[in-house]
Amino acid sequence: MSNRNHTHTLSSGFCNATGFTCHLLISILLLATALVSCNNEESDDDPRPFIVTTTNLIRDAVENVGGDDVRTTSIMGPGVDPHVYRATPRDFQQMERSDLVLYNGLFLEGRLSEILDRLGDQSRAVTGSIPRNRLIEASDYGGTYDPHVWFDAQLWMYVIDDVSQALSTLLPEKSETFAERAESYKRELEELHLYATQRIQQIPEERRILITAHDAFQYFGRAYHIEVRGLQGLSTATEFGIQDVSRMVSLIIERGIPAIFIETGVSTRAIDSVIAGVRERGYTVQMGGSLYSDSMGARGTPEGTYAGMFRHNVETIVRALSEELQ
Ligand SMILES: [Zn+2]
C-alpha cells in the first residue's frame, strides 16, 4: 500500500501555469502541507488503511462497513456544500496520504472532479454499482444524472456494497467481515426505507409536496411518493429567478400548502422570498424546518449519522405537512 508518490501527481495536476508561477504554487502547497503535517491527527504508525471521503455521508458508509479495521475522515464536514467545494491544502495532503479516496461521483463534487480523476486508481466513485436505469436523468446542470442518490435508502444500499468491495480490495483478508457488516447494515437501511414509506403516507395526499430551495430531493420524492419542487435546480451554483419565485408562490396558494423547508448549508434567501411572496398575496405558509440535504449533522449528534439524518428529515417533513402542527 504505497502512498508516498502522490505529491508529484497532485502538484503537477494542481497547476497548468508555466515556470515561476508553477514553482510558486507548488512551494505554497508544500509549505501548507508541511504545516498541516505538524498536526499529528492521523498517525503514520497506524497500519490500518486510511480512507478519505469527500462527503461525510460516504464517511458514515465507510464506518459502518469498515468498523475498526480502517481509519477514515471526510474532507467536507456538516453544512458544507459539495457542489461548489474547492480542495484546501489540507485536503490535498489528506488525499495524498490516503490509501483510497471515495467520492460520490455523478458530478456532485463538481469542482473536485479534475483532482479526483488525476488520482486514478487511488480514487473511486461509490455510485458505480447503482443500475443506470435507477438513476434520475438530469442533463441541465453539468452531469448526466442527479447525484443526490442518498435520499433513497435502497439506492444507498448499492453504495454500501460498493464501499464493501473497495475496502475488500485494500484488505482482502477482511473481506468476509466487510461483507457481513455490509449485509447487516443493509438490513437497517431496508427498515429505514420501510419506515420512511409508511411515515410519508401519513401526510394527507393533497399536502404531500416538498418545497425546498435546491432540487436535492428528487430521489426522495420518487422513493417515498411525495411530490418535490426545488427553486434552484440541482446544483446550488445555479441561481433562482423572480419568475421561479412567483410560480412557486402561486402553487403554494392554489394547493394550500402549509409549509416549505430550508436546508442546512444552503442559503435561505430563495425560501425567504417565497414566504414573503405568499404573504404579499394575503396568505401564509410556514417555515417547516431545516432539512439536511448534501451533508449530515455534526458527529455525536443524532443527525451525525446517515440514518439519524434521514429520520430527522422524514419527521420534519411529516410534522410540518400533516395535521400535527395545526
Ligand atoms: Zn445538492
Q: Ligand 1: distance of its center to the CA of 248 in Å? A: 19
CA of 261 to the centre of ligand 1 (A): 14
The torsion of the CA quartet 230, 269, 144, 114, rounded to 10 degrees, works out to: -160
The mean predicted confidence, pLDDT, of the chain is 87
Same domain flag for 107 and 186: yes
What does the CA dihedral 117, 121, 126, 132 come to, rounded to 10 degrees? 70
pLDDT band at 44 (very low <50, low <70, confident <90, very high): low
Q: Which residue in the block uniquely carries the three cell numbers 463534487?
A: 109
User: Do 173 and 262 reside in the same domain of the chain?
Assistant: no
- Ligand 1 mean position to 25 CA, how many Å? 31
DSSP state of 284: -
Pair 227, 161 in one domain = no
Q: Which helix (H) or strand (E) holds 211?
A: strand 209-212
pLDDT at residue 182 tops 60: yes
Instruction: Give 187 Cα–ligand 1 centroid separation in angstroms.
Output: 26
Residues 6+ apart with CB under 8 A from 19: none
List pLDDT tens digits, range 114-144.
Answer: 899 999 999 999 999 999 999 999 876 667 8
- Angle among Cα 103, 105, 107 to the nearest 5 degrees reads 130
Task: Encode pLDDT of 263-305 as tens digits.
Answer: 998 889 989 999 999 999 999 999 999 999 999 999 999 999 9
Q: Does one domain contain both 26 and 174?
A: yes
Residue 161 lies in a domain: yes
Question: Residue 211 maps to which CATH number?
Answer: 3.40.50.1980
Distance separating the N- and C-terminal Cα atoms of the chain: 58
Predicted confidence (pLDDT) per residue in 63-116, tens digit = 999 999 999 999 999 999 999 999 999 999 999 999 999 999 999 999 998 899
Residue 43: pLDDT band by 50, 70, 90 thresholds? Answer: low
pLDDT of residue 37: 42
Closest by alpha carbon to 53, among 120, 123, 152? 123
Give the domain extent around 224: 197-325
Instruction: State the average pLDDT over residues 300-317.
Output: 97
pLDDT of residue 313: 98
Longest dimension (CA), the chain: 66
Let me know if residue 1 belongs to a domain: no
Give the distance (Å) from ligand 1 centre to CA of residue 111. 13
| Separation of CA 217 and ligand 1 centre (Å) | 9
| More confident site: 107 or 1 | 107
- Bridge partners (DSSP) of residue 137 are 145
User: Are residues 133 and 216 both part of a single domain?
Assistant: no
Position 309 pLDDT exceeds 60:
yes
Measure 109 CA to ligand 1 centroid, in angstroms. Answer: 10
C-alpha pair distances (Å), 326 with each of 55, 188, 259, 271: 36, 32, 11, 21
Q: For residue range 10-36, what is the model confidence (pLDDT) as tens digits?
A: 443 344 444 445 455 545 554 554 444
**How many Å lie between the centroid of ligand 1 and the Cα of residue 21?**
34
Provide the percentage of residues in the chain whose pLDDT is more than 90: 73
**Domain limit, last residue, from 194, 218, 242:** 194
Q: Tell whether the torsion through CA atoms of 172, 177, 182 and 183 is positive or negative.
A: positive
Count of the separate structural domains present in the chain: 2
Asked if the model's pLDDT at residue 225 lies above 50, the reply is yes
**How far, in Å, from the CA of 287 to the mean position of ligand 1?**
20
Q: What is the pTM of this model?
A: 0.85
Domain check: are 33 and 130 in the same one?
Answer: yes
Of the two residues 59 and 206, the one the predictor is more confident about is: 59
Would you say 129 and 80 are in contact if contact means Cβ atoms under 8 Å apart? no
Q: Residue 241 pLDDT more than 90?
A: no
Could you tell me if 177 and 247 lie in one domain?
no
37 and 184 co-located in one domain: yes
**Same domain flag for 174 and 212:** no
Task: Give the pLDDT of residue 9.
Answer: 41
CA of 214 to the centre of ligand 1 (A): 7
Reference 291, options 211, 208, 219; nearest CA is 211
Do both 183 and 44 map to the same domain? yes
Percentage, residues of the chain above pLDDT 70? 84
- Tell how far the Cα of 291 is from the centroid of ligand 1, in angstroms: 12
